[in-house]
Amino acid sequence: MSDYAGDLAPSQAWELLASDPDATLVDVRTSAEWQWVGAADLSELGKRAVGIEWMTSAGQPNARFVEQLAEAGLSPEAPVLFLCRSGGRSAAAAAVATAAGYTTAFNVAEGFEGGPDAQGHRGTVNGWKVAGLAWRQS
């Protein structure tokens, strides 16, 4: 049993975001990752992903993470889906959010880039991008 509402595959996350107008995707990667690797594009759903770093680009924990969830206008009763590179940081973020009173915090288990392939490269095995879900790069 996890310390949050559960793990979702990227396609399940997209379905929940599409079907529940109150569901929000929170990308917990660093701002450098959003810029250089890309980010989920929810525009066809009439939504935007919320970017709140779990760890800073300098590798420091974001001490204001829970405060920033509230500042972003996220309701503790609405579904919040956390996304990172491969599902590790987002699972931790979902657990912290749950402890802070967010009742339906989910982890997007495969993350944006997914796990590494046999050559150690991400973005080829699973994850948001491999699932063919909308994303963009700046």
pTM: 0.95
pLDDT given for residue 17 in this prediction: 98
Dmax (CA) for the chain in angstroms is 42
Q: What domains lie within the chain, and their CATH numbers? A: 6-136 (3.40.250.10)
Higher pLDDT, 105 or 138: 105
pLDDT digits (tens, 9 = 90+) for 54-77: 998 888 999 999 999 999 999 999
Taking residues 13-26, report their average pLDDT.
98
Convert the pLDDT of each residue in 97-133 to its tens digit: 999 999 999 999 999 999 999 999 999 999 999 999 9
